[in-house]
Amino acid sequence: MPVPPDEDFRKSTYSSQGGECVEYAQTGDSAHLRDTKNRDQLCLSVSLYEMTAFLRAAPSAR
């Protein structure tokens, strides 16, 4: 899966203000996650189906 350009990424609303941030981008049927501090490093890319399953299974922080 090709990684989207920087301008497509958005900071997660669940990220802390202390610099521990995750950015998210969506392209077609793929979701992309990366660490704000290491934008040039690894980007995790999964299908939207996999991302949705993960978010439904993850405990809520609310």
pLDDT (0 to 100) of residue 49: 96
pLDDT (0 to 100) of residue 22: 86
Distance CA 50, CA 27 (A): 14
pLDDT tens sequence for the chain (62 residues): 678 888 899 987 766 666 678 899 999 999 999 988 888 888 999 999 999 998 889 876 55
Q: CA nearest 36: which of 49, 53, 19, 51? A: 19
Write out the two tokens for 36: 């704000």
Q: How far, rounded to the nearest angstrom, does the alpha carbon of residue 18 sit from its chain's CA centroid?
A: 18
Cβ neighbours, 10 Å, residue 4: 17
pLDDT (0 to 100) of residue 7: 87
Write out the two tokens for 5: 């350009």
